[in-house]
Amino acid sequence: MRIAILGAGPAGLYLAYLIKRRRADAHVTLIEQNPANATFGFGVVFSDRALEFLRDDDPESYAAIAPQMESWTDMTLVHRNERVTIDGVGFAAIGRLKLLQLLQERVRAVGIEPQFGRAVASLNELADADLIVGADGVNSLVRQTFADQFGASVTYGSNRFAWFGTATAYDTLTQTFRQSAISTRIITATRRGAAPSSSRLTRPVSPVPVSRKCRRMNRAPSAKKFSPTRSQASG
């Protein structure tokens, strides 16, 4: 079976690895428009639960990835200038480029050499494949090409997102809510050790979406530490 996977981001790389691991006879072609060492973005955060799934289903990949991660157990909310620590919310982060490089090693280990620097302009270029997989991200050519068959549609929201690298060290995953006269901003900062932390700024047009957990904490300002139940912590 000839399988063409368009896009060697995390999804394309890992799918290529899983297919080849299970079907050694499959001919897997993995195509990526960017060079091997290019990335857009900073850290990628996994919840403890996500890492548990990886460890249980694919111990080898877990053993390759987990030691490269930095982990922490608390999350911090900063709301109306009050810092509240939520414990028991385990996360681990890894640089996006490092994750891609590790996944590239995984696919090479099963005999796939990704085709980097090849931008596919039309799916006709992949006409000899029995199966085409669209792992080509948010502006997917595969999704656009078969939009009618998939029933795919795209709508644009009014929130703005921006990502920044910052030299500020964050001890935990930190979400800061800031209200100004014209907008509300939510800044999500993740810890990345010696590398720049990743800070995502979201500007919703609607009022701050204060979670129920957060409201609970506001009713009890003295309660600085909140321990979620296991189900709350697993997201």
Ligand X SMILES: Cc1cc2nc3c(=O)[nH]c(=O)nc-3n(C[C@H](O)[C@H](O)[C@H](O)COP(=O)(O)OP(=O)(O)OC[C@H]3O[C@@H](n4cnc5c(N)ncnc54)[C@H](O)[C@@H]3O)c2cc1C
Binding site for ligand X (CB under 6 A): 6-12, 31-34, 41-42, 44-45, 119-120, 135-137, 141, 163, 198
d(CA 35, CA 117): 5
In the bound state with ligand X, the residue whose beta carbon lies nearer, of 50 and 64, is 50
CB of 177 to ligand X, least distance (A): 19
User: What residue number has its CB nearest to ligand X?
Assistant: 9
Q: How many CB atoms lie within 10 A of CB 197?
A: 20
Closest approach of Cβ 207 to ligand X, in Å?
Answer: 25
How many CB atoms neighbour CB 16 within 10 A?
Answer: 26
Nearer to ligand X, 7 or 90 (CB): 7
- Helix or strand or coil: residue 143? helix
Helices (H) and strands (E) in the chain, counts: 8, 13
Q: How far apart are CA 187 and CA 57, in angstroms?
A: 33
**Rounded least distance, CB 165 to ligand X, Å:** 9
Minimum CB distance to ligand X, residue 171 (Å): 17
For ligand X, give the closer residue by CB, 8 or 214.
8
Residue number, 89 or 217, with CB nearest to ligand X: 89
Could you tell me the smallest distance in angstroms from the CB atom of residue 222 to ligand X?
A: 32
- Residue 165 near residue 42, CB atoms below 8 Å: yes
Between 32 and 89, whose beta carbon lies closer to ligand X?
32
Contact call for residues 31 and 116 (beta carbons, < 8 A): no
